[in-house]
A and B are shown apart, each in its own frame.
Chain A
């Protein structure tokens, strides 16, 4: 909210400096957004008298002027058509910066005539768009005086951010009240005199929608003369960014800002049937003061006369009954509207207005009579006329509430010991009235304008709470919330910097582990993948549903109702999808060879989500003198999976790989990593070439996704003793001829399990297919490590063990030993 320092001082009697005021505003919770001191940039400009203005000897469109600046007469060349002898104008001396042109003036010569300064237009001073000519000041403007101070532009404009709970601070008076309470002066009294109305009002009220409007006052002022407002009012409105319209309209805007009390003026002669009714909308349209047409719904509260809807209550008035220069009888509306209804109407119709802003935060429900009197007085002062009697409908609602503060709670909740007397004084300075007080506590009446204190709005408790728990919690809330409200008031007037900080007490000097096992898994996976050469990314959880559909079904259940962009409308089925898009972006920048990973959520068709580690590799290894380049293959993705799973303590021997990975993988180069028949820990493989084409990826991409939620916590048993035999192991190679369809893993497992006591390890070191082998066969070579236990093995023992290996592999896979 914006206001000027002088406006503030109409409510606040203070000697505080601007800085003291702005510091205090921020301290008490009315955060300073900025101070605009318009005088600062106008400082060099003075009022000058144009003594002579003659045709420039060498230029048709220029005038050569002699200008009295108050400190001597100078020669100025001026191009403005309205420059004439005898006028008062604004002069910028050499050295002055002209904001509208961005130029710093120098003494110069224009076509042979010296120009030692400039006469300014409004636009050149940055004071508007008027560039028809130089500013033409009244003849009595004093020569040599600062233009800014003469024009009263040296009144700083203060802009504050008002939080949604503080409707009362959306008024100059409310701000002044807070500042006075914070010790920056005294709040001036506000007590408008009740005007004796004569005769009935030309218009009266009826309320049908009592939920939307509980109370309304109005009054006709007859025989007014509407015209431009006086300069002081125009200045105030302009200074805070409002456009003066006419005295009657400006008066309503003034009180909206001054008292936070929106008003509306109807031209009484344009109201049909002599009655305005607050009622639910019924689909009628009306043209609002902004020139646009609105259709009111049953949810909206309309103000209607016998001709139809004339206004949207609390949000915007209508054009048909608005005041203009011809208005002679004005009907002033001063109403109390339901904040929620105003907010919902404003939101639906996408209308923001100063009135809506105040009504939806809640205005002072007791202020209506005084505000109407003050407004009437100003109408009479500015426009003349005679007031009628006040007409009313509805009644002042019961807004009175109490709140109790136990003084010890200032320390025990607020962390600041405040003496009881000081706390009570603070509350009273904010308008709270002491009802009861003892040594330990005070009970105060909440002022009408503080609808945020002790508001007692409805709880929205969890439906799962037991009746007993809910009752205790609700009773506790009813007791504690008003007290918290008061603690906040007492603390904010002192500034929260006054509260001494206290480090959190800890149970011991060494903290317990912070991460849960599930969180640790994520951290380990992240470090392992980064150590494996992949760069961690954070990609969006949503993507284009067309792209998501390439990776799954892109169900409606996971599609945003209101996406911010068409390409961000679907929750991703897998982070591989967004990483693939990221790799495409990198390729288009000239970086096609990379490895990326992300630890993040995947969103499933059933509406659930899981925690995954996904990654991809694309392109080739860098060229290097020491060896050939290598393209990323499906087995690289499997290696990434294996590295992570091993690091997470998964029993690797128990894993199986099946060839039924999701359809976005290459069907012949992908697998599912399973632990037991049901649990899929990961998938990996080359991405399907169709997908590569659809996403415009530059070449093959291999990817993996690990479901971190599926990984079980390793049994944290103590490790057994290590196996450290004293005899050397010995190794034997076996090459088996098997059907090409037999998995290498089957051969390895059979060999490994052939003999329990001697075989300590088995590794698969060669796979061969080619012309030298029978059609449909391949050779799988395995190295077996035999570990003697208590004696060096004899040839016969080695032979026997080897025979077991061959027999086991043959039995399991139909293999034969290659000769």
Chain B
């Protein structure tokens, strides 16, 4: 390479280095490669050379041009990157500011428990049955072997509504979800497997009683259903619901008008700490039994052919136990602070495969 080309190359490098923005860079580029740039001028001078020198000189200029062009483009990339960096630096935001969140809604713990019950009992092939809150005294009492004079009608502190219903029966707010047993047995042929979660009402209002509360009823009728199945079903449920595979469950002989034999069911806990599982104490949690032959017969089911079990459980009670909620009354208060504390995410739907 001839000295003049080398000199040009060096001069261009120096000019590029001195160009700190794209405008200065473009001036260098035009000064060298433009129409009357210094290298362009040298190319123009080729024609004046003798043919034997022209070839050699032309090759040298082309080599120089390639090198200079590369240097110019490289400098451009550097300057463009710097310009972008400078621009972005001006666009900085305070990333520590709090973001605007969409408002969070919540699912009430009672609904959550009902969903969990549906999932667990559903896995046992049990469907969900429903009935009205305003019932009549036959479905709520008489059909369930609670005759008019029975003390249970008194014990249950029944709310009455005025007048008679279309079937000339007294209207009551159901004191338990058991009337839906009657509706189910009259509405379908056995086999029957249902649970009935729902609102129930009793005229009792203190720290541990609410005039409205929730129960889940269970009814399983089939051929050959035994008290062993009742125990298995409830043990399976309680252990799944509380998530304690070794939860102690005790069955005690008891009495309910609508079942025989009847039993109350206790789970093991520690009375002092409130912890479920071990601890050596027993906590009564639900009532159950084999469906009374009179109840079957009242609903037109022949107890020689069909038999089964029923149970009833307080939804608030198991919810309080599962989540360590100490008081009953806030369940119905709609205190937004309580709801935010105990409520469940809308998107954490109950699913057995995610664990209840």
Contacts and interface: CB of A to CB of B under 8 A. Distances in A.
Contact of B260 (A412, A485, A556): A485
A164 B151 contact: yes
Contact of A564 (B103, B126, B205): B205
A372 B236 CA distance: 53
A511 B332 contact: no
A556 B162 contact: yes
B254 A31 contact: yes
Contact of B261 (A469, A492, A514, A515): A492
Nearest to A599: B111
B151 A343 contact: yes
A626 B345 CA distance: 25
A460 B142 contact: yes
A26 B265 CA distance: 12
Given A412-B224, A512-B125, A589 B261 contact: no
Given A477-B293, A501-B235, A496 B253 contact: yes
Interface in A387-429: 411-416
Interface stretch (A262-270, A536-544, A756-764): A536-544
Interface size class of B (residues with CB under 8 A): 35 or more
Interface stretch (B47-55, B62-70, B296-304): B296-304
A275 B250 CA distance: 55
B19 interface: no
Given A459-B294, A469-B300, A496-B251, A535 B339 contact: yes
A721 interface: no
B228 A480 contact: no
A481 B259 CA distance: 11
A482 B173 CA distance: 32
B143 A460 contact: yes
Contacts of A462: 143, 182, 186, 298-300
B321 interface: no
Interface stretch (A151-159, A238-246, A601-609, A787-795): A601-609
Nearest to B203: A564
A537 B110 CA distance: 9
B323 interface: no
B13 interface: no
A557 B340 contact: no
Contacts of B102: 533
B347 to A, nearest CB: 7
B177 to A, nearest CB: 14
A565 interface: yes
Interface in B131-173: 132-134, 138, 142-143, 145, 147, 149-152, 154, 159-163, 165, 167, 171, 173
Contact of A488 (B121, B260, B332): B260
A560 B161 contact: yes
A504 interface: yes
A297 B336 CA distance: 53
B311 interface: no
A526 B255 contact: no
A607 B212 CA distance: 19
Nearest to B134: A609
Interface string A451-478: 0000001111111111001101111110
B133 A459 contact: no
Contacts of A556: 162
A529 interface: yes
B340 A535 contact: yes
A562 B294 CA distance: 30
A232 interface: no
B251 A499 contact: yes
B231 interface: yes
A546 B83 CA distance: 73
Given A460-B142, A506-B125, A609-B134, A539 B334 contact: yes
A496 B203 contact: no
B87 interface: no
Nearest to A512: B125
A624 B100 contact: yes
B57 interface: no
A466 B171 CA distance: 25
A327 B343 CA distance: 69
B336 A591 contact: yes
A527 B346 contact: yes
Interface in A485-504: 485, 487-488, 491-492, 495-497, 499-504
Contact of B336 (A502, A526, A594, A626): A594
A462 to B, nearest CB: 6
Contact of A477 (B115, B122, B296, B346): B296
B134 A530 contact: no
A415 B263 CA distance: 14
B228 A514 contact: no
Given A499-B228, A560-B159, A360 B151 contact: yes
A162 to B, nearest CB: 9
A516 B186 CA distance: 19
Contacts of A624: 98, 100
Contacts, number: 316
Contact of A29 (B226, B254, B300): B254
A460 B228 contact: no
B124 interface: yes
B252 A26 contact: yes
A470 B300 contact: yes
A507 B226 CA distance: 17
Given A514-B126, A603-B134, A476 B161 contact: no
Contacts of A358: none
Contacts of B232: 501-504
Interface in B317-348: 331-337, 339-340, 343, 345-347
A597 B111 CA distance: 12
A541 B252 CA distance: 34
Contacts of B255: 29, 163-166
A538 B333 CA distance: 8
A21 interface: no
A607 B167 CA distance: 13
Given A496-B251, A502-B226, A527-B349, A488 B261 contact: yes
B260 A164 contact: no
Contacts of B204: 564
Contact of B301 (A29, A473, A503, A526): A473
Interface in B170-217: 171, 173, 182, 186, 193, 199, 201, 203-205, 211-212, 214
Contact of A586 (B106, B152, B263, B334): B334
Contacts of A164: 150-152, 255
A557 B336 contact: no
A214 interface: no
B229 interface: yes
Contacts of B29: none
A538 B100 contact: no
A557 to B, nearest CB: 6
Contacts of A507: 125
Given A477-B303, A496-B253, A534-B105, A514 B162 contact: no
A601 B124 CA distance: 28
Nearest to A162: B255
Interface string B232-253: 1101100000000000001111
A340 interface: yes
A103 interface: no
A722 interface: no
Given A477-B293, A484-B261, A504-B193, 6 more contacts: A28-B253, A497-B251, A514-B122, A527-B346, A564-B211, A601-B133
16 contacts: A28-B253, A164-B151, A360-B151, A461-B299, A464-B186, A466-B300, A475-B302, A476-B305, A477-B294, A481-B292, A497-B251, A503-B233, A527-B346, A537-B339, A538-B331, A582-B334
Interface of B: 97-98, 100, 102-108, 110-111, 115, 118-119, 121-128, 130, 132-134, 138, 142-143, 145, 147, 149-152, 154, 159-163, 165, 167, 171, 173, 182, 186, 193, 199, 201, 203-205, 211-212, 214, 220, 224, 226-233, 235-236, 250-255, 260-264, 290, 292-294, 296-305, 307, 331-337, 339-340, 343, 345-347, 349
